[in-house]
Amino acid sequence: MNNYLTQLLLITIIITAGGPAALPPPPTATVTQTVTPSETPSPTQTAIPTATPYPPLQTEGPYLLFQRDEQTLVMMDADGMGRKYIEIPQNAYISRFENAFSPNGEWLIYFTGSTEEPYDLALNLFNLKNKSSIRIANLIASGYPENLEPLTELISFSEYDTDCANSLECKLRVIESGFRTGIYQFDWSPGSQEIAFAAQIDGPSSDLYIYNNVEENSIRRLTNEPENIGLMIDWAPNGEKILYSSTESNMNYSFYPLHIADTNLKSPQNPKIIDRGGLFWFGEGWIDENSYLLWDGGEGAPPHNFRYIDTDSQQINQVWRFVADHYVINFKQDEFFLLTYPQGFIDPQSEPEEGIYLVRFDGSYTKITDENYSPLAEGPGNTYFVLQIENDTDDTFFLLSIGTDGKIRGLGEKNKLLLPSQHFSR
């Protein structure tokens, strides 16, 4: 896993030192009214409002990082004292926020363009030190979407799909849907030297490519298979292989089989399928060099059935089969930190009571507290950041930290989310 970038829940992540030096943040105005009585009746004196900016970052990390608005990122000390504001390019947008920052904290991956006309989607790098940008590649080949026509032969049809089976336009829509799912996938190598990403550079399907941003400033094609890249690309901690999924399309759902690509091979490869997964599975991350954590969900079902697959033997090991409404995973400590509600979703007779639990990868677990906090991210030491929601209607909350011993402490004043609170849950 990344040495400098740890687990987040969609919008918020924790990073350690390795990024650029702190910049003075924009001021946040705090207006304080003071009434000064006089010896004789006179109008009330009011103090002049003063701007009280946050100080620069005060520590060497870890930091809390979140997106303030479309163009501004905020990096915060773990105790909430210091802050740094990062302005990203005007035409940039960040996909897969949790993976966008390089492990050494120096680079940010962002996208420009679109999968709509004029089909100019591109992958870019932003240098967090000198604020310069590099365009890595245009991700869509000329002639899109008509150039996907050869892939329409791969769609699975049932006896009820005869109308679409005889319509090229309909089949192209199905293939396009799978293509757009995977074209935004990417991941950093453990050493921040390379980026694995999906692209249609050589066509007709999207494939796995590797960009070397330090030594060669070059791109090489890693895979060559008929299916498009699917829901995930995840580089192994040892840098020797990449776990990724492809897309198998039919008229109702797309399936995403898992593959392992060897990063040392110089010629494009067509890796075999190591696991077909379920219909709604999600990849979470590497436990070690060979073991990858997965869970089920989707179609209204909460996250459940946490398990890991040995990518060599393809053996499945179950960790937590119950529901986890919110969770944080500490891969360095080999443990989960999660909130669960009894829902009768798996087995009402054996489901644990509501609360926050520490769950280990061997399947054992310990209850930490009965309190209804929302686990947010890994904190320093044996602690985790959690949210205490005060008001769901206006998204106000208190940011706290809680230790694995159950001890809780506050982290400053009440805050207000810029995005709805459900963005902090899986």
Q: In angstroms, rounded to a whole number, what is the distance separating the alpha carbons of residues 140 and 198?
A: 10
Q: What is the pLDDT of residue 246?
A: 94
Q: Which of 140-149, 381-390, 399-408 has the lowest mean pLDDT?
A: 381-390
Tell me which long-range contacts 343-348 makes (C-beta under 8 A, separation of at least 24): 343/302, 345/301, 345/302, 345/304, 346/304, 346/305, 346/321, 346/322, 347/322
Q: In angstroms, rounded to a whole number, what is the distance separating the alpha carbons of residues 331 and 272?
A: 27
Comparing 371 with 202, which gets the higher pLDDT? Answer: 202
Beta-bridge mates of residue 330 = 335
Radius of gyration of the chain (CA): 24
pLDDT surpassing 70 at residue 342: no
Whether residue 329 contacts residue 284, with contact meaning beta carbons closer than 8 Å, is answered with yes
Mean pLDDT of the chain: 80
Region of 153 please: left (phi>0), alpha (psi -120 to 50) or beta: alpha
| Whole-number percent of the chain with pLDDT over 70 | 81
Q: In angstroms, rounded to a whole number, what is the distance separating the alpha carbons of residues 245 and 247?
A: 7
Strand positions, DSSP E, 52-189? 63-69, 72-77, 83-87, 107-112, 122-127, 133-138, 186-188
Strand positions, DSSP E, 139-280? 186-188, 194-199, 207-212, 218-221, 229-235, 241-246, 248-249, 254-255, 258-262, 273-275
Q: What is the pLDDT of residue 33?
A: 42
Among candidate residues 103, 27, 15, the one with its CA nearest the CA of residue 59: 15
Q: pLDDT tens for residues 97-156?
A: 878 999 888 899 999 999 999 999 999 999 988 889 999 999 999 999 999 999 999 888
Q: What is the mean pLDDT of residues 68-73?
A: 83
Region of 119 please: left (phi>0), alpha (psi -120 to 50) or beta: left
Q: What is the pLDDT of residue 371?
A: 80
Residue 278, helix vs strand vs coil: coil
pLDDT surpassing 80 at residue 53: no
Q: What is the band of 209 on the pLDDT scale with cuts at 50, 70, 90?
A: very high
| Whole-number percent of the chain with pLDDT over 90 | 35
Q: What is the pLDDT of residue 80?
A: 80
Q: What is the pLDDT of residue 399?
A: 79
Q: What is the mean pLDDT of residues 161-186?
A: 90
pLDDT surpassing 80 at residue 331: yes
Residue 209, helix vs strand vs coil: strand
* 8-state DSSP, 36: B
Q: What is the pLDDT of residue 260?
A: 93
Structure tokens at 401: 């930290």
Q: What is the pLDDT of residue 394?
A: 57
Q: In angstroms, rounded to a whole number, what is the distance separating the alpha carbons of residues 135 and 19?
A: 21
Q: What is the pLDDT of residue 412?
A: 58
pLDDT surpassing 50 at residue 425: no
Comparing 278 with 229, which gets the higher pLDDT? Answer: 229
Q: What is the pLDDT of residue 141?
A: 96
Q: What is the pLDDT of residue 392?
A: 58
Q: What is the pLDDT of residue 227?
A: 93
Structure tokens at 191: 């050493």
Among candidate residues 270, 183, 260, the one with its CA nearest the CA of residue 223: 270
**pTM of the full structure:** 0.75
Structure tokens at 373: 């906090």
pLDDT surpassing 50 at residue 29: no
Structure tokens at 409: 């402490």
Q: What is the pLDDT of residue 47?
A: 53
Q: What is the pLDDT of residue 421?
A: 29
Q: pLDDT tens for residues 252-291?
A: 777 889 999 999 998 999 998 988 877 788 888 999 999 9
Q: In angstroms, rounded to a whole number, what is the distance separating the alpha carbons of residues 359 and 295?
A: 14
The most confident of 141-155, 329-343, 376-390, 391-405, by mean pLDDT: 141-155
Residue 281, helix vs strand vs coil: strand
Count the alpha carbons within 13 Å of 235 in the hemisphere toward its beta carbon.
28
Comparing 346 with 369, which gets the higher pLDDT? Answer: 369
Q: What is the band of 375 on the pLDDT scale with cuts at 50, 70, 90?
A: confident
Q: What is the pLDDT of residue 3?
A: 35
